Structure 1
Amino acid sequence: MSFGRLVVSGAVALLTALAVAGCSSGSSSSTPVTTAATPAAGSGTAAPGGANQLQADYQRVIADVLPSVVQITTASGLGSGIVYDDKGDIVTNAHVVGTATAFTVTLANSTKPLDATLVAGYPDSDLAVIRLSSPPSGLKPATFGDSGKVQLGQITLAMGSPLGLSSSVTDGIVSATGRTVSEPDTAGSPGAVIGNMVQTSAAINPGNSGGALVNLDSQVIGINTLAATEPETNGAAAPGIGFAIPASTVTSIANQLIKEGKVTNSGRAALGITARTYFDQDFRPAGAVVVAVAGGGPADAAGIQAGDVITKVGDTPVDSLNSLTTALASLAPGDRTTVAYTRDGQNRTAEVTLGTLQTP
């Protein structure tokens, strides 16, 4: 199984759209479409009063949050975003923004297009902030929840503009937390590796990228970013497997982009090395070879040197630079872990206290 960012450019067949990078759609529509089917009961049948209350909860959350979810259009595609503050800042995925610096934004309660410009982006976490050039009165910023309180089985609503259908809503549950997911490569560059993602069964389709994953307390618990695809079926969507960047990451990165215009604290674990994929005598990837070690960094303090080949981090095998990045994405700065490596053909291990990934 692989993962596709749901970005679509131009008029593309739906199955093809699901397999390409990003969550934006080339088509557009001003007709709101809301779809929210009541989840199947676990055991027994819900009483009519309970079903009516659940429906009322859905409708309340949609009324509360949907006005904060916008449609973002660039010259090459379409995606979603979330109103972050009353100054006109909107948070979205970096892959929705792409290389654009100017955008058209349509609010959920309006058909009038608004101009916006790029504040800054941070592709390593696939997040970006854009700003309305002339913010209208009555902007409704979303409320972001505590990612640490997200629990398996919680009901979720995914809001955005799938396939250009603005103000659409789908429902599901939190299927898992703490997922580490690698985005697909783009233009020959490796995609971002994002840790601690929220997995949901709510349908996430092209155009949903940058939209809101919401709980029944009307809180955004994540930004819809990825959907799973199945390589054995030519990249067709794997239904009910979508991923959202957790709210804690969103708010941390967005606050820095707005205040500093860049990210100064990534919140991501690092060894303090520069590395590349190591290939064995049969030209098979067999680890991550250390090219350089930052003086005074975690690897340096643990005695790791340039030329060492890292083969495992904790219990996770490492056979390439990408797998090393994936292993580190599941950890946090300050975590202590064992790093296995080879030096001059000899197997070694080191206990490393991880640092913070430095940003350019």
Structure 2
Amino acid sequence: MKIINLIQIVAIILLLACSKKTAPVENILPVSKIINVQTATELKAALANAKAGDEIVMADGLYSGKFVIAAGVNGTAAKPIILRGSRNAVLDAGDINTGYVLYLQSNYWIIKGFTITNGLKGLMVDGSEYSVIDGIRVFNIGEEAIHLRKFSAHNTIQKTDISNTGLKTPDYGEGIYIGSAKNNWANYSNGNPDLCDSNLITKNKIGPNISAECIDIKEGTTGGIIRENNFDASGINGANSGDSWIDVKGNYTLIENNIGTNPGGSIFKDGYQVHCAVAGWGNYNEFKNNHCTVSATGYGFNIQLSGSNGTTTGNKVYTNNIVTGAASGAANIPLSN
């Protein structure tokens, strides 16, 4: 019995020692396989054949072409698929007039670190859930930089750097576009609202030279969070009513702790806007603790109360927002405590 007890004690000591050594890496994601790529051909093959837990690592360099992560190439919550590279790993579609530089259509992906440039659209995300877009740079794009569409929900876009959009079509040059306009529901969501819900947009730098809104949140979306971003209005040109940092047409969006500036040279009206594009939408959105240097003729927060499509209700602008340079005032509605 004494020998057995001694063995048990030694086993416990060894277990505790191993636990102490491994504790600092508890947040590291499990990786099934690391796939190193150096060419566009290798990258396309890796994207097509990725399995849950794989990590695709791009060497620095130019990857020419358009790249697709097809539907069904899914990670899992425990084993997401990672695609990463430094800012010097550049996906370049070579033409701002057509196509998507990177097209994500699967779940549980982490898109991290690299650069996307020279496409009609930068990163298009269709039907993806629980994916993370982290620290990428997107610039020199014909229309919008990043678009969450076709029921893409529960995703995170964080720490990205977006500039120079709308080079082909300024009307559609948003930095980040969430959902679909009603006139596109037939194309992307079977005529129903495009429920791109519960997406988190945080700690991004959007601008300068974003031709439309920094973020456009469409009717049909619910429960988004826009937090701790930096918006630069330089380059906004007013096309297609793009004259604010953010235009909200969805419901229950929380917009907080953002910093917006308007250094000049753009056709800028209001810091933030809410519109009713479809009856029942544009409601219960909240604006908290945003710092707004508007330097324009409008409001810090302009909430459309009624229009040809209906009325809005339940929107709140809190007193802890800081607004300077808005000629019409902080907001067109009473502030909430």
- What TM-score, normalized to structure 1? 0.24
Judging by fraction of residues, say which structure has more helix: 1
Rg comparison, structure with higher value: 2
- What TM-score, normalized to structure 2? 0.26
* Relative contact order, higher structure (CA 8 A, sep 6+): 1
